[in-house]
Amino acid sequence: MREKDPNKLEAIFKATLKLVLREGFTALKMSDVAKEAGIATGTVYVYFESKEDLINQLYLELKKRNAEEFLKGYNAKAPFMACFEKVWHNYVRAQMQEPEAAAFLEQYYRSPYLQEHVRKETDKMLQPVFDLLERGKEERLVKDMPTELLVIQLSGAIGELVRWHMNGQIKANPTIINKALELAWDSIKR
């Protein structure tokens, strides 16, 4: 079996991201992906069995990149607030640097393409955040609420901040980002 070319894989992912954001999941065709990527349609099928496989693999790849970004420099042994602030700022930065990826991740998560095994795999990527919030509860710093609710509260705030920034409704400068962090913290602190 021939080794797959990482440049072609990246071209397929970029083309798929662009097309999904422009036309949606339903309208996505493998032939359009190939054309956008500058490769033969058959080549796309060498890398992915189907449109569903391509969409799921793109989601996993973007989620992996996203998780790597928001955990960059994270040290689980540091004091809780240092960890919390690090993850918060990294996540905001990652979302702002890759708004197309953020939009795709949100769109995919609400689509019928979300498969249970994919959700479980992405949950593993987020485990350090869940662990951090659990630690905050154990240290009596964070409200004793289901961790999933805490994650929803925090990620929702970041998502809206980024959307408002991208739409020009707010300028997410360092002052605004820190104010948003303060509000987010106030919403989950004990």
pLDDT tens per residue across span 27-36: 999 999 999 9
Task: Name all contacts of 68-77 with Cβ < 8 Å and 24+ positions apart.
Answer: 69/93, 69/94, 69/97, 70/94, 70/129, 71/128, 74/128, 76/128, 76/131, 76/132
SS3 175: helix
Average pLDDT of the chain to the nearest whole number: 92
Return the structure tokens found at 43: 């080549």
* pLDDT average, residue stretch 130-151: 96
What confidence tens digit (pLDDT) does each residue in 54-84 have?
Answer: 999 999 999 999 999 989 999 999 999 999 9
Q: What domains can be seen in the chain, in order of their start residue?
A: 1-48 (1.10.10.60), 59-188 (1.10.357.10)
Q: What is the DSSP letter of 3?
A: P
pLDDT, residue 2, reads 58
Q: Which of 36, 40, 102 is nearest to 67 (CA)?
A: 102
Q: Which of 133, 125, 173 is nearest to 150 (CA)?
A: 133
State the helix-helix crossing angle for 80-97 and 174-188, rounded to 10 degrees. Answer: 130
Q: Which of 111, 145, 115 is nearest to 130 (CA)?
A: 145
> Poorest-confidence range of 15-24, 108-117, 122-131?
108-117
CA 6, distance to chain mean position in Å, is: 21
Q: How far apart are CA 114 and CA 117, in angstroms?
A: 9
In this prediction the pTM is 0.85
In the block, tokens 């009596």 appear at 140
